[in-house]
Amino acid sequence: VTDETIGTLAAIRPFSFPVVRCAALTPGSDGPLAGIVGDRPALLLVSGSVQRHYGAQIDQLAADPALNVQAVLPVPTGERHKTLTTVEAILHRASERRFPRRGVVVAVGGGILLDTAALAASLYKRGVSVIKVGTTLLAQVDAAIGIKCGVNTRDGKNLAGAFSPPEAVLTDGTLLQTLPIRQVRCGLAEMIKLAVVADATLFELLQRHAGAFLAGPRDNGSARRLIDRAITGMLEQLQPNAYEHDLQRAVDFGHTVSPSLEAATDYRIHHGEAVALDCALFTAAAHLLGVLQRAELDQVVGLLDELGLDRWHPILEDEQFLDRALTAAEAHRGMALNAPLPAGLGTLRFLADRADLPLDLLVEAARLLRGSA
C-alpha cells in the first residue's frame, strides 16, 4: 500500500465580537440583552455573588417578556470549583431543560464564572453562543474579553480549556461598586501588567487615578477612562494573535511564575495578587539584567505599594519553586521561556531562553523587592 492523501477538508472560521459599555442587566426590549439575544432561548449562568448582590435584577431578567429565559442556573465559583465536574453539571442541567443549539448562554460573574460557563457553552452540543458579563474588574479588563476559557484539573490551572469567542461582551461599571477591595486590587494588577510592558499612558493614568478608583466611585469619568483604555489595550494585544500562534505575548507579563504561585499556595493567593507578585519579580529581574532603570523599577513598585498589592512573597526566594515554575512556563510557551521583561515603562523585550535567566538572579530580584521599602 502506498501512502496517499485521499482528500482534504479546510475551512476558515472568522470571528468578531463587540465589547459594549452599557447597563448590562437592564430588562425590557430596550435592554442590551434583549437587543442581542432576541427571541433565542437564553440560559443565565450566575455566580453566588451575583445572586446575592444582583438577585433582584436577575429575577427581573428571568421574568422579562422581552427575553426568553429558560432558566437561571447558579454555578459554584472559587478556583476549587473551576473544574470539569462543574462544567459537566452545567451540561447536565442545560440538557435537562432541553436547551437547544440555537440557545444563548448569558454568563454573569467574575473570571471564574466566565471561564467555566464559556467552556461549558463551547462543549454543549459542540458549541452554543455565549454572552459574557464580567462583574469583577479583572473580568472586565481581561477574562471577559479574550477568547480563552478553561478550568483547572489536578495537573494544573486552566489545563482543560478552549479558544471559543463570545458573541458579545457587556461591560457595566456600576457592577463594580459592590466588589470587595481585594478584588478591585486584583483587577488593577492586570491593568498594571498591561501598562508596564505595553502602554505608558495607561501607567500614568493608573498613577493618577487608581488610588481613587480603589476607594470608589468606580463608574465615574476617570474610572471609565481607565477601564476603557485597559480594554482597548488588551484588544490591541489580542487582535493579531488571538489564537496565540506567536508564543511571545506581552500579556504574558505577570504570568510566568504566577500560575505556579497560585497552585503552590492552594489558591489562597488570588490570580490578580499572583500577577502583581510576578510583575514585581520580573521588573526587578529586568533591572538586574540591565534592561530597566532603577527609577522605573521604583515607579512600578511604588504603584503596587500605593494600591496595597504585595510585591514580595517568601516562596519567590525558593529556588526549587522558581525552577518548577519556569519549567511549567516553558512547557506552556513552546518549550522556551519567552518571558516578557519591561525594557522601560510601556515597552518590553522577550527573554526567549531560560539560560539567560539564572535562578540566583531571580532570587536576588526577590530579595531586592523584600529589601526595598
Ligand X SMILES: NC(=O)c1ccc[n+]([C@@H]2O[C@H](COP(=O)([O-])OP(=O)(O)OC[C@H]3O[C@@H](n4cnc5c(N)ncnc54)[C@H](O)[C@@H]3O)[C@@H](O)[C@H]2O)c1
- Please report whether residue 110 would count as binding ligand X according to CB under 6 A: yes
The b/e string for 67-89 (b: 16+ C-beta within 10 A; e otherwise) is bebbebbbbbbebebbbbebbeb
Q: Mark the segment that binds ligand X (CB under 6 A) among 19-27, 173-181, 276-284, 304-312.
A: 173-181
- Please report whether residue 175 would count as binding ligand X according to CB under 6 A: yes
In this structure, what C-alpha cell is assigned to residue 348? Answer: 518590553
Binder to ligand X among 104, 119, 123, 139 (CB under 6 A)?
Answer: 139
**Gyration radius of the chain over CA positions:** 21
Binder to ligand X among 41, 47, 73, 188 (CB under 6 A)?
Answer: 47
Reference 200, options 311, 271, 300, 280; nearest CA is 300
Separation between Cα atoms, residue 53 and residue 143, nearest integer Å: 21
Q: Are 348 and 197 in contact (CB under 8 A)?
A: yes
Binding to ligand X (CB under 6 A) within 212-271 occurs at 271
Of residues 187 and 346, the one with the C-beta less far from ligand X: 187
Q: Mark the segment that binds ligand X (CB under 6 A) among 176-184, 219-227, 284-292, 295-303.
A: 176-184
Separation between Cα atoms, residue 355 and residue 202, nearest integer Å: 32
Of residues 111 and 346, the one with the C-beta less far from ligand X: 111
Q: Mark the segment that binds ligand X (CB under 6 A) among 103-111, 204-212, 302-310, 338-346.
A: 103-111
Reference 342, options 295, 276, 275, 297; nearest CA is 297
Binder to ligand X among 36, 75, 179, 234 (CB under 6 A)?
Answer: 179
CA distances from 111 to 37, 50, 270, 272, 302 (A): 22, 12, 11, 11, 27
Binder to ligand X among 75, 119, 149, 345 (CB under 6 A)?
Answer: 149
Of residues 289 and 329, the one with the C-beta less far from ligand X: 329
Reference 123, options 156, 157, 142, 99; nearest CA is 99
- Please report whether residue 24 would count as binding ligand X according to CB under 6 A: no
Q: Mark the segment that binds ligand X (CB under 6 A) among 46-54, 229-237, 322-330, 348-356.
A: 46-54
Q: Give the three-state DSSP class for 114.
A: helix
- Please report whether residue 165 would count as binding ligand X according to CB under 6 A: no
Of residues 199 and 252, the one with the C-beta less far from ligand X: 252
Of residues 138 and 351, the one with the C-beta less far from ligand X: 138
Q: Are 51 and 198 in contact (CB under 8 A)?
A: no
- Please report whether residue 19 would count as binding ligand X according to CB under 6 A: no
Of residues 87 and 368, the one with the C-beta less far from ligand X: 87
At residue 345, φ and ψ (nearest 5 deg) are -70, 125
Q: Mark the segment that binds ligand X (CB under 6 A) among 31-39, 63-71, 106-114, 357-365.
A: 106-114
Q: Give the three-state DSSP class for 109.
A: strand
- Please report whether residue 116 would count as binding ligand X according to CB under 6 A: no
Of residues 325 and 357, the one with the C-beta less far from ligand X: 325
Beta carbons within 8 Å of 49's beta carbon, 6+ residues apart = 77, 109, 110, 135, 178
Of residues 51 and 68, the one with the C-beta less far from ligand X: 51
Separation between Cα atoms, residue 364 and residue 366, nearest integer Å: 5
Binder to ligand X among 75, 112, 202, 369 (CB under 6 A)?
Answer: 112
Binding site for ligand X (CB under 6 A): 47-49, 53, 77, 79, 82, 109-113, 115, 135-136, 138-139, 142-143, 146, 148-149, 158, 175, 178-179, 183, 186, 271-272
